[in-house]
Chains A and B, each alone.
Chain A
Amino acid sequence: DTEVTQTPKHLVMGMTNKKSLKCEQHMGHRAMYWYKQKAKKPPELMFVYSYEKLSINESVPSRFSPECPNSSLLNLHLHALQPEDSALYLCASSQEWDRGNSPLHFGNGTRLTVT
């Protein structure tokens, strides 16, 4: 079990659907992250929130829309996705945003399949 909880664990959606991924942490961490991971590949950074403000957007297509309602929650809204967007979506948090030795704590991810 991890201290970062992601729901749902699995999601299958059509290209015209709208869905949301949810992430929650209660460790008091002030930075939260979305990563995308394809099979046999490293996680790739999508977004970073620091103190509930969007800090980094790695040129992610607008069909992915992040939201940070409060310091414990992070959402990723999905709309009009493509089959190539099928992947494992990982949420993470860290206590500090500006220290290299502040590790990221990852959730188990949502495995998304776009049909």
Chain B
Amino acid sequence: GQSLEQPSEVTAVEGAIVQINCTYQTSGFYGLSWYQQHDGGAPTFLSYNGLDGLEETGRFSSFLSRSDSYGYLLLQELQMKDSASYFCAVPGWKLTGGGNKLTFGTGTQLKVEL
């Protein structure tokens, strides 16, 4: 099965940098994704790491270490609108039939304060 653990809550001030960690145990590994979900909204895709290292997309960066079964999402220059839940997720699929069996981590509630 798949197990992904995240801190339940992180609080930071506007303009700061925050790191959200994700440790995983999976049967087979095909990369790590990150999604953002505002209260009452849809999860939206942020980033994907298929290989070790850092991927940068604007203010957000994501890191993966496959040997440590660990990844993190780094948010820089925090803004109030970044207050949301953040989920790491791992894809998986059946050998036949198709379909991406995306499994989400426990989720981290980020609160950005003035």
Residues of chain A having any CB pair with chain B under 8 Å: 2, 4, 31, 33, 40-45, 48-51, 53, 55-56, 90, 94, 96-109
Contact = CB atoms under 8 A, between A and B. Distances in A.
Contact-residue bracket for chain B: 20 to 34
Interface in B46-63: 48, 50
Interface of B: 30-31, 33, 35, 40-45, 48, 50, 87, 91, 93-94, 97-107, 109
A103 B93 CA distance: 14
**A contact patch SS:** loop
**B contact patch SS:** loop
Contacts of A109: 42
Q: Which residue, B93, B99, B103, has most C-beta atoms of chain A within 10 A?
A: B99
A102 B99 CA distance: 11
A2 B91 CA distance: 22
18 contacts: A4-B42, A31-B99, A33-B102, A40-B107, A42-B106, A44-B104, A51-B98, A90-B42, A90-B43, A96-B100, A98-B100, A100-B91, A103-B45, A104-B35, A104-B100, A104-B102, A108-B42, A109-B42
A94 B100 contact: yes
A28 B31 CA distance: 24
Contacts of B94: 55-56
Contact of B93 (A43, A53, A98, A101): A98
Contacts of B30: 100
A45 B98 contact: no
A97 B98 contact: yes
A15 B62 CA distance: 44
Nearest to B107: A42
B20 to A, nearest CB: 14
A48 B42 contact: no
A56 B97 contact: yes
Contacts of B35: 104
Given A45-B102, A45-B103, A2 B42 contact: yes
A90 B30 CA distance: 23
A2 B31 CA distance: 25
